[in-house]
Every structure is written in structure tokens, then in C-alpha cells.
Amino acid sequence: MEAKGIVQTIQGRKVLHELDCSFLKGKIYGIIGPNGVGKSTLLQLLSGVEKAAKGEVLLSGESILSIPRKALARKMAVLQQNGLPPVGFTVREVVGMGRFPYQSWLGSEEQDPAPIIDEALEAMGLTVLQERKMDQLSGGERQRVALAKLMVQEPSIILLDEPTTYLDIGYQVQLLDTVKSWQRERGLTVIAVLHDLNLASLYCDELVVLHEGRIAAVGTPQNVLTTELIERVYETTTAIVPHPVTGMPQIMLQPSGSS
């Protein structure tokens, strides 16, 4: 997947400026940067939900806008920032909705989808909640349901817009561990907008840094996450240390006035 010469405006304000980037099969990419730089806007363009004012998004060399939505849904799944609304369906029913791209107009499939649904529920720790109504769940539980719904969609590309929103640290790790394991097993391409730079460093193969609507840096966490770049992009002073187990760079905030 690649974005070529992307320009996007929102209410007359240019949000993305002549942006070029590409995403290779089988990697996890993190899109990072301060608030308001166009991270979620870029993800919406990559998903085909929005059309760029200029430029195009290509999937295997084909304009994403030319691919029928149901065919695209067999290739790509999207987890929106706000997760799922607290509707009156059960957890299992909502997760099963991820099978829509494979259903006939009567809502049936050639093979029984139950094993796929069971696997996704178990992976996200939702088996005991599967008969509970969505409006009885917490925000974090609904976020886990949303990811399970993506899993049963069986895509080759996953777009995640701040997937750890509403989750405590334990479930943040569980969710991203699940995504990474799933990505490795199936050779998926994952593109995630992330606010937490330390999580981005731990889980992403490559980072795309946006700043003022442009790409400020692209590369591995080791090459991208430097004190100089963070000070320039985030306007804050940090110290960067290697993670004691993985060795990946971890950002430590440095309060103003500290020595």
C-alpha cells in the first residue's frame, strides 16, 4: 500500500502537504506525532473512507477508491478511534458482524463461521462475556470486542486508530501482544496511529513521524526515536534509555528545571 502526493484539507485548512509514504506487506507500522498533525486523517485516506483533495492511495497498484467496498473489506479492516457504540447486541453477535464481507445477500456463508468467532473471542478474553449486551460493557471491553470483530474479518491489512484508547496498561499489552502475534502468524500488514511512543517503540517495526502535516522521519524505532527529533516535533525535552528486556528505546519525560 502506498500514498502518493497526498494533500488533504479540512474546512479550508490544509492538513496534509504533498505526503508520500509506503507500507510493505508483513510489517507493523506506527504513525506517530503530536495532536492535530493529520494522523487520523491519513488513516482515513488509507482506508478509502475519505478522498484526498490531491494525490491517491494505491493498494497493490490499484486506486483504493476503485475497489468495491465489500471486496475491500475482505482485504482491509479498520478499528476506529471511538470503538463500537454501546448498542443492544450481544458481544458474540457484534463479533460475528465481522463476517459480513463473506456473506451472501441472505446473510449465509458456505462454511460455518462459529470456529473463527470462538477463536477471536478467546484471543481477546471475551468468551465469558459473549452473551452480554454491548451496552453493559465498559469502554475498554467494547474496544476488545471491536478488535475481535476485526479478527473474524480475516483481513490482510489492519488499520488501527489509537487502539489502546480506554484500556488500562494490562489490556494495552494484551491487545498489542494479540495484534503482533496475529500479524506474525498470518503475515499481516498493520498500520496503527499511536500516541504512546513507548508502546510504538516496543511493537512497531517502523515508525512514520508526522509533523505539521508532513513526514518528519521514517524508519525503525532505534533510528527515529532520538532526543533531537522528539524535541523538534513534540517541543519537549526527554531522556531516551534502552528497555531492560528488549533493548528498544524508551522515552523518559524530563520535567522543566531538572538537571
Which mean pLDDT values do the consecutive 10-residue runs of the chain (259 residues) have?
A: 94 90 95 92 93 94 93 91 75 93 77 91 92 89 88 94 84 87 91 95 97 94 95 93 95 76
What pLDDT is recorded for position 86?
A: 64
Domain boundaries, given as residue ranges, for the chain: 2-226
> Which residue in 8, 7, 54, 45 sits closest to 23, CA to CA?
45
Alpha-carbon distance of 174 to 97, in angstroms, equals: 23
What pLDDT is recorded for position 103?
A: 82
What pLDDT is recorded for position 182?
A: 87
Other beta carbons within 10 angstroms of residue 70's beta carbon come to 11
Task: Match domain 2-226 to its CATH number in 3.20.20.10, 3.20.20.70, 3.40.470.10, 3.40.50.300.
Answer: 3.40.50.300
Q: What is the pTM of this model?
A: 0.90
Pairing between strand 76-79 and 249-253?
Answer: unpaired
Q: How far apart are the first and last CA of the chain?
A: 45
> Residue 146 carries which DSSP code?
H
What pLDDT is recorded for position 82?
A: 65
> Residue 155 carries which DSSP code?
-
